[in-house]
Amino acid sequence: MPGDGSYGRREMLGAAGVAVCGVALAGCGTDDAKARPNIKGKVIAKVADVPVGGGKLVEDLNVVVTQPTQGVYKAFSATCTHKGCKVGTPKDNVIRCPCHGSEFAADSGKPTKGPATAPLASFQVKAEGDGIVVV
């Protein structure tokens, strides 16, 4: 009965709905800390491991490194902007997400095929010796 500390059917259903919606929304967003790890100054890959037109997925850092053209290196978060899945290793200058089929340009991180509409978070990198370093 209302007012006696007990909850009626409507109150219980409302609370359950709020809890379910909160959990559903939390699972759909991307975690910014995961999408943009603090890797400034770190060597994230070896030049020899990043082929022209392809790239390397650095899973422990959650980063994908590409070489769209000879000597040009790019790095992006490996977290897809659609639902937060991890993207795959770049091939043919395309970064693909295996979960829902989104594709991103290896030179810019911009989506070229949906459902993702936002670009991958990017990092400034440069080749130093035989390594690729985040600047």
Q: Would you give per-residue pLDDT tens digits along the chain (135 residues)?
A: 555 555 555 554 444 443 333 333 333 344 444 445 577 888 999 999 999 999 999 999 999 999 999 999 999 999 999 999 999 999 999 999 999 999 999 999 999 999 999 999 999 999 999 999 999
User: Do 16 and 58 reside in the same domain of the chain?
Assistant: no
In the numeric block, the tokens 């994230």 are attached to 44
User: Do 9 and 24 reside in the same domain of the chain?
Assistant: yes
pLDDT at res. 41: 86
User: Do 48 and 26 reside in the same domain of the chain?
Assistant: no
| Domain containing residue 114: CATH number | 2.102.10.10
Domain of 119, in residue numbers: 32-134
User: Do 58 and 85 reside in the same domain of the chain?
Assistant: yes
Exposure letters 51-70 (e unless 16+ CB within 10 A, then b): eeebbbbbeebbbbbbbbee
d(CA 21, CA 12): 14
User: Do 48 and 105 reside in the same domain of the chain?
Assistant: yes
pLDDT at res. 121: 95
